[in-house]
Structure 1
Amino acid sequence: MADVEGVRLQKVLANAGVASRRVAEQLIVDGRVRVNGSVVVELGSRIDPESDLVDVDGVAVQLDQSKRYVMLNKPTGVVSSMRDERGRPDLRRFTRDWPERLYNVGRLDAETSGLLLLTNDGSLAHVLAHPSFGVTKVYIAKVDGRVAPQTIARLTKGLDLEDGPIAADKARLLDAGAEHSLVELTLHSGRNRIVRRMMAKVGHPVVELVRRQFGPLHLGTLPAGKARELTKVERGALLTLSRSAPQPDGEDPAGDQETE
């Protein structure tokens, strides 16, 4: 943290849209602002917005305004790539409204729809896409057949797949019909097509699959094929999550194996 050079902390907070400079000063005096993990209560404190990490009430503040965070409801039939070598529909059409070069954090199978995060924040993408971090994801699967309560219990107790055991963090039966059932699965695994393989293992192949949640982000009412920038609250939650993780190294942020 800079002491003589740099920018006054209350000005940084105001520029980031946290509050007016006067309110920001009160936040500092009240001990609600931390810089690099340490509470700062001196109004004359200066920081380097390019290197220092700031949070208010434990929620990370985005200081670098060049970083863009976009939520996409990826439709089926689109591959999770910015340029597909085989000429299939890719993600480029959804990034034309932003001048920054955005790329996807993780992947969804072409036939899986739902929440996909696009960003130009390489360090955040690297952390969130890394298999060792295990971001929580929530899926809703439409599957063949009537799913019994005992099957839901199996999903959380654990299954043996060809690449090792797996258990859902949570599983919930939303609807059980004669031909199809709706199952909600919460997982932190990034293994390839894991939801489809789990449901096939218990005898209920997936007919349709949508990812409704990625970490603190919820798809909400965003229509399929539409993208929007994250709100300030969503950005804060996402940055807080990424800063809590140990920094992994050595892998491409969009190159993890997570497809559903």
Structure 2
Amino acid sequence: MSDSEAPEGVRLQKVLAAAGVASRRVVEQYIVEGRIKVNGETVTELGRRIDPETDLVDVDGTAVQLDVSKRYVILNKPTGVVSSMRDESGRPDLRRFTDDYEERLYNVGRLDAETSGLLVLTNDGELAHVLAHPSFGVTKVYIAKVDGAVTAQTISRLTKGIDLDDGFIAADKARLLDTSRGSSLVELTLHSGRNRIVRRMLAAVGHPVTELVRRQFGPLHLGTLPVGKSRELTKIELGALLTLSRRDSGVAAAPGEQQENE
């Protein structure tokens, strides 16, 4: 009987080697060094077997995806594209960016049509639901071009908090990047999932947004990825994202609960 057919599960070394973590021999060394945990408990025996479909494994505190059929993609969404796989009104949607992938990918959360920047596409429904749920509060970083000269006092107001129609809101961080020719660049860090929150906050302090880009989503950074282009996550990025999502995996959202974040 093969490992994969054994009722007691599959050897941990085999599973992690298949997941691209390291060779079986190196994984054995990791076990000896106490660097691997299964379901939160440090593995001590070399013959440990697991169920890859249900057991959660991390190496050096970073989560590992054991299902090699899962795909994770970063897209730099252009303006004018709605965050949907099929728009009922016929507007440009995300299908043009997913056609080249064999898997059927979905977006994690949304950016409105006139906001560009980092959007995660995946076929990992559980991760997508957890990360997009408003109560989970994944940190996002935005760069906004706004009308007018933003002052230090305005930046302070954004971090101290302001009252909007749907309640009080404060930026986790805010900083002025540049002011010139009647406009300013402001960087806002938020964990709120409320609808169009960045635009509403800046409008409330007298500086309407003219351009908005999401540069960061949790541990993921847009970097130098050109507008309209996508790439798969690196192993380091994926590990960080999975670790974040498992922090509170009890939070689950139906797709309809995903909100526009900006």
**Smaller-chain TM-score bracket:** over 0.9
Does residue 7 (structure 1) correspond to residue 10 (structure 2)? The answer is yes
Match of 2:65 in 1: 62
Match of 1:43 in 2: 46
The Cα of 1:87 is off from its aligned counterpart by: 0.2
| Rounded Cα–Cα distance in structure 1 between residues aligned with 2:224 and 2:73 | 15
The Cα of 1:250 is off from its aligned counterpart by: 5.1
Taking a change above 3 Å as real, the CA distance of residues 137 and 164 of structure 1, as seen in their structure-2 partners, is same
Match of 2:259 in 1: 257
Q: Which moved more, 1:17-26 or 1:81-90?
A: 17-26
Does residue 18 (structure 1) correspond to residue 25 (structure 2)? The answer is no
Alignment of 1:213-252 (within 5 A): 213-249=216-252, 251-252=254-255
User: Deviations 1:140-182 (Å, cap 9, x if unpaired)?
Assistant: 0000011000000000000000000100000010001241100
Total equivalences in the alignment: 257
The Cα of 1:246 is off from its aligned counterpart by: 4.2
| Rounded Cα–Cα distance in structure 2 between residues aligned with 1:231 and 1:146 | 39
| Rounded Cα–Cα distance in structure 1 between residues aligned with 2:200 and 2:21 | 44
Contact 2:129 2:253 in 1 (8 A): no
- SS of 1:208 mapped into structure 2: strand
Q: Which moved more, 1:103-112 or 1:175-184?
A: 175-184
Aligned AA for 2:18?
A: N
Contact 1:4 1:46 in 2 (8 A): no
User: Deviations 1:86-129 (Å, cap 9, x if unpaired)?
Assistant: 00000000001111111101000100000000111111011000
Does residue 135 (structure 1) correspond to residue 148 (structure 2)? The answer is no
| Rounded Cα–Cα distance in structure 1 between residues aligned with 2:18 and 2:60 | 18
Taking a change above 3 Å as real, the CA distance of residues 104 and 255 of structure 1, as seen in their structure-2 partners, is farther
The Cα of 1:57 is off from its aligned counterpart by: 0.5
- SS of 1:100 mapped into structure 2: coil
The Cα of 1:48 is off from its aligned counterpart by: 1.0
Taking a change above 3 Å as real, the CA distance of residues 196 and 250 of structure 1, as seen in their structure-2 partners, is closer
Contact 1:13 1:19 in 2 (8 A): yes
Contact 1:155 1:168 in 2 (8 A): yes
Give the ranges of 4+ consecutive aligned residues of structure 1 lying more than 3 Å apart after TM superposition. Answer: none
The Cα of 1:26 is off from its aligned counterpart by: 0.3
Does residue 105 (structure 1) correspond to residue 108 (structure 2)? The answer is yes
| Rounded Cα–Cα distance in structure 2 between residues aligned with 1:78 and 1:4 | 48
**Structure 1 length-normalised TM:** 0.96
Does residue 202 (structure 1) correspond to residue 205 (structure 2)? The answer is yes
Aligned AA for 2:69?
A: S
The Cα of 1:84 is off from its aligned counterpart by: 0.2
- SS of 2:135 mapped into structure 1: coil
| Rounded Cα–Cα distance in structure 2 between residues aligned with 1:81 and 1:259 | 14
- SS of 1:238 mapped into structure 2: helix
| Rounded Cα–Cα distance in structure 2 between residues aligned with 1:68 and 1:110 | 24
- SS of 1:181 mapped into structure 2: strand
Aligned AA for 2:180?
A: G
| Rounded Cα–Cα distance in structure 1 between residues aligned with 2:259 and 2:57 | 32
Aligned AA for 1:85?
A: E
Contact 1:127 1:242 in 2 (8 A): yes
Match of 2:122 in 1: 119
| Rounded Cα–Cα distance in structure 1 between residues aligned with 2:233 and 2:67 | 15
Aligned AA for 1:80?
A: S
The Cα of 1:256 is off from its aligned counterpart by: 1.4
Taking a change above 3 Å as real, the CA distance of residues 250 and 138 of structure 1, as seen in their structure-2 partners, is closer
Match of 2:3 in 1: none
Unmatched tracts of structure 1, length 5 or more: none
Aligned AA for 1:79?
A: V
Residue in structure 2 matching 1:92, options 87, 95, 112: 95
Q: Percent identity?
A: 79
Does residue 168 (structure 1) correspond to residue 199 (structure 2)? The answer is no
